[in-house]
A and B are shown apart, each in its own frame.
Chain A
Amino acid sequence: MSTPGTREATVPTAAALALGDDALILSHRLGEWAGSAPVLEEEVALANIALDLLGQARVLLSLAGDEDELAYLREERSFRNAQLVEQPNGDFAHTIARQLYFSTYQRLLYGQLATGDGPFAGLAAKAVKEIAYHQDHAEHWTLRLGDGTPESHERMQRACDALWRYTGELFQPVDGLDLDHAAMESAWLDSVTAVLDKATLTVPTGPRTGAWAAGAGRQGLHTESFGRMLAEMQHLHRSHPGATW
């Protein structure tokens, strides 16, 4: 498939990789639910969200180089995704908390990118409409689980707490993205706080930035489970180079 007409001579490669890797890795994680989601409707929903993300990843990685080479032949240290998206699916609550944090961020980010006339504007204007459905999906589940049974409440709280430390990285400046990260972060906090409050959940108090926060994925440092995920994702292409359907 060819790349969109928005290709320009000066595509900021670092930014295309950062955003493309976020979309690719989260897409793969969500795809892992195929065959094991709690209900059929959720399996379909998560696969659909994964497909949207994969579409974004293809456009972004094609701006940075050859999409297949970038996805299947890079080593772990060359991936530039934020650590949040590589976190294992965990239980369903963990997946939903990851979706809530990421889709809220991505909608704000793409909303800003869509208003400019940079190399990502065309994709962002299109993708932001898809992301609105992802965020809506995550918020609905956060409400159902948080304000559900004592068991679902406890698990949703645990998931929100566990992933909180990965959210600061999302607002670190990325080379080539001239955005107001501070404004985006404060809008993100407002939005997530409102959903957690409504879901009777407590906004986590752990560190999002500083020494005890996580996150150096944009610099190529990843968490333990990422290597295993990559091995599975890249295995077919590396074992059978050039394989096609």
Chain B
Amino acid sequence: MVTMTALEEELSRIAGAVLDPEMPVLTLEELGVMRGVHVTGPGRVEVSLTPTYTGCPAIEAMSSDIERALHEHGVPDVSVVTVLAPAWSTDDISEEGRRKLAEFGIAPPRPQGPAGGPVPLTLAIRCPHCGSTDTELLSRFSSTACKALRRCTACREPFDHFKEL
């Protein structure tokens, strides 16, 4: 069993290193959507993945990318299952993930804490281009379900904000 666990850890590292299809600077591990890797038999692996949003179409690309990565590593039989509970939250994005998002031009989500209360949309969000906190909301919905569209009033650039969930 010890070797199995070591194998699972190794496979987990490989699956977790797959890049997000929409934000290809972020790994699935950093995004916090990996829920587990289990060796269920010889050459057979089951990966659990949770979607950011219930209807996120990227989950299918993620699944096939994970399958490909593990195939290339010599696992012939890979199945990816989607789990909804416990629900993913933007708090599941790692510190490194947040840093990469900002570098990529997407303002990272603000920490939410445990309570699921109203979303404080009026707190300052930093412009990923010039660093100003003087930004305004253009639309709560943007290029993908997980982002809102904002504009920096200092440098005038529009930018995406990974909105809190």
Task: Mark A residues whose CB is within 8 Å of B.
Answer: 1-6, 41-42, 44-45, 47-49, 51-56, 58-59, 121-123, 125-130, 132-133, 136-137
Contacts and interface: CB of A to CB of B under 8 A. Distances in A.
B165 A130 contact: yes
Contact of B56 (A55, A121, A123): A55
Interface stretch (B7-15, B21-29, B77-85): B77-85
B55 interface: yes
B57 A51 contact: yes
Interface stretch (B97-105, B122-130, B138-146): B138-146
B145 A125 contact: no
Contacts of A128: 116
Given A48-B141, A49-B141, A52-B145, A130 B54 contact: yes
Interface of B: 48, 51, 53-57, 59-60, 63, 81-89, 116, 118-119, 121, 138-145, 149, 163, 165
Contact of A45 (B63, B86, B139): B139
B119 A126 contact: no
B141 A44 contact: yes
A44 B116 CA distance: 25
A5 B83 contact: yes
B59 A126 contact: no
B contact patch SS: loop
Nearest to A111: B116
A123 B85 CA distance: 7
Contacts of A130: 53-54, 145, 165
Contact of A53 (B48, B55, B84): B55
A53 B86 CA distance: 19
B106 to A, nearest CB: 16
A19 to B, nearest CB: 13
B68 to A, nearest CB: 17
B84 A122 contact: yes
A173 to B, nearest CB: 25
A1 B48 CA distance: 12
Q: Which of A3, A56, A129 has the most chain B CB atoms closer than 10 A to its own CB? A: A129
A56 B55 CA distance: 7
A56 B139 CA distance: 23
A126 B145 contact: no
Contacts of A137: 140-141
A6 B86 CA distance: 10
A5 B141 contact: no
Contact of B139 (A6, A41, A132): A41
B54 A132 contact: no
Contacts of A1: 59-60, 63, 82
B53 A52 contact: yes
Given A125-B87, A133-B119, A41 B59 contact: no
A54 B60 CA distance: 15
